[in-house]
Structure 1
């Protein structure tokens, strides 16, 4: 790496030179009263050349864990030896964040199905277009943080198109135990950014409406590992999670859904290893006179589980992914080590 300075980062209305940091509120839309709707953006341009990486959170306004990850990277880490540029977008969906809800309150649109956006289309696509053009497309790598929707929780895992080699490199560098492979739905930030030449992964972590410190710290370790892989923090080293499973086709994962309505008692926590035939949860009526036992259809890992114990028939209760024998044994070994006094 040379000691020559990198390039300036430019966006509509501004410029951040090497060695500079800017905190800006960038206008993406307007309220019914014509007042500006602005998103917070921190741009840290290192003194040394390197990749430009965006970190984004709260595309769904009630998903808070990622906000703290992005804020800590932007404002608490030492960037004196930063090689490259960080574009930190802690709250993409400001209207949803203010309303404490998942979607944009404007016609209940999903911002994370609106990328890369369209300056002449719906409100959601106009917002997406301004964000994408100014702060996503100029980047070389992307990390997009999410949580489960309300009433459910996820263990920390990565979602990425593992058939796209540059995306797979980012996903592997993040050092999570679980990677769920796939392109992702059309209009998602990770798919559209990757298609536009910015390899991007989604990090799922925890539940909506709260900060979960253990998951935030785990995600920060993953960010540091990505920075090491791409030379952004040259003194750091890429991490290995100890064991990893990459989940591909639909035959390797399933959402277990309720066949009856009632109240759910979960018998395992998110992140648990369960074996084929294990009782995962039991659904009972208010009198506990009827019960429906839900068993694991295969041996696997509970990546996501229900937090709200009330279900209608068809409601998802847990997300189970298959583990091969080698991964299962590695996980069993790890859990046995954790249980030792």
Structure 2
């Protein structure tokens, strides 16, 4: 294990509730010996599993930041069996700025794992998460959304299992989170994963983990926030980490495999004609791309190369060539 330059104000081995910061060293003109403050809460009591919950890996994704912060406020050591580690703004510079990537080094944290202990601040955070934090964990939940550019319904993401034990753990998390949709990957994962995401980092460490896409458009959706908070409580209960928890009735989840994305090939103004969760046929019209700068020009028609269901849709009207407009999924086999 490489030695991280990040210093934690929280002792992850001590019982009780602790709140403080990870100090990510950052020497700049205005602060020669300064550090970036990444907020962290650790609650530990009795014997039980260790669960890590993160949000703010992308800074323009908000439901997770609120839900994780709420847990940090509401739970105390006497409520917990095991160890709960909460990081509501893991990529703090991005979250503080409300941007997908860090404004100080342009790092997209969810494309930087396993990181580097001597790299940029974003690379140091990726390394600390993968090499210092995750070896402590049994389970991990990473909360995302579509950010500023996309909208998702409340959707859990999970990988394929590579053992009966992993399948059992993933099923516990999936059933407990109980989101309307589950995006199940058909390949990858496992300890040999090369993915540069937080899920890849967890897989390499043998940590049972899921991710979630929770809304988007750089806004907070009350219904999705409520589902997120409910799901996290249900996960804690399912893992036996909170006392006397009685779950409410499960609502069920539609399990999907993603078929692919639909991209823009002409810059212009995006007019969707289909809604999220709407079923579509191959060749069916999804959107028009308008060109108001060219009087009389006919809009371009965007058609679906897949049959299935719209899982995600672009939130922004202004588009450039290469922008993702839709993500299409179908029911898992």
**Do these two structures clear the TM 0.5 threshold for a shared fold by scoring above it?**
yes
Structure 1 contact 52–141 (Cα < 8 Å) conserved: yes
Residue 92 (structure 2) aligned to one of 94, 100, 104: 94
Give ranges in structure 2 of 5+ residues lacking alignment: 1-7
Give the deviation of 1:39 after TM superposition: 0.8
Corresponding residue number in structure 2 for 1:178: 182
Q: Structure 2 vs 1, CA of residues 284 and 117 (structure 1 numbering), >3 Å: closer, same or farther?
A: closer
Corresponding residue number in structure 2 for 1:281: 287
Distance in 2 between residues matched to 1:134 and 1:296, nearest whole Å: 44
Give the deviation of 1:280 after TM superposition: 2.1
Listed one character per residue, the Cα deviations across residues 202-247 of structure 1 (whole Å, up to 9, x for unaligned) are 1111125332221111112222232233222352338644342231
Listed one character per residue, the Cα deviations across residues 85-126 of structure 1 (whole Å, up to 9, x for unaligned) are 210100111122233322223431222223333323443322
Distance in 1 between residues matched to 2:24 and 2:162, nearest whole Å: 31
Q: Trace 1:1-341 onto structure 2 (pairs within 5 A).
A: 14=11, 17-18=14-15, 20-32=16-28, 33=31, 34-46=33-45, 48-77=46-75, 80-165=78-163, 166=166, 168-169=170-171, 170-176=173-179, 177-181=181-185, 182-183=187-188, 186-207=195-216, 209-233=218-242, 234-237=244-247, 240-247=250-257, 252-286=258-292, 287=295, 289-323=297-331
Distance in 2 between residues matched to 1:304 and 1:217, nearest whole Å: 20
Distance in 1 between residues matched to 2:278 and 2:84, nearest whole Å: 35
Give me the TM-score of the superposition, normalised by structure 1. 0.80
Structure 1 contact 29–38 (Cα < 8 Å) conserved: no
Give the deviation of 1:256 after TM superposition: 1.3
State the SS of the aligned residue for 2:90: coil
Corresponding residue number in structure 1 for 2:3: none
Give me the TM-score of the superposition, normalised by structure 2. 0.82
Q: Structure 2 vs 1, CA of residues 259 and 37 (structure 1 numbering), >3 Å: closer, same or farther?
A: closer
State the SS of the aligned residue for 1:150: coil
Structure 1 contact 16–43 (Cα < 8 Å) conserved: no
Listed one character per residue, the Cα deviations across residues 304-339 of structure 1 (whole Å, up to 9, x for unaligned) are 101111223332211111236xx9xxxxxxxxxxxx
Q: Structure 2 vs 1, CA of residues 320 and 13 (structure 1 numbering), >3 Å: closer, same or farther?
A: closer
Q: Structure 2 vs 1, CA of residues 68 and 262 (structure 1 numbering), >3 Å: closer, same or farther?
A: same
State the SS of the aligned residue for 1:254: strand
Structure 1 contact 283–291 (Cα < 8 Å) conserved: yes
Give ranges in structure 1 of 5+ residues lacking alignment: 1-10, 328-341
How many residues are treated as equivalent by the alignment?
309
Distance in 1 between residues matched to 2:57 and 2:275, nearest whole Å: 27
Q: Which moved more, 1:151-160 or 1:139-148?
A: 151-160
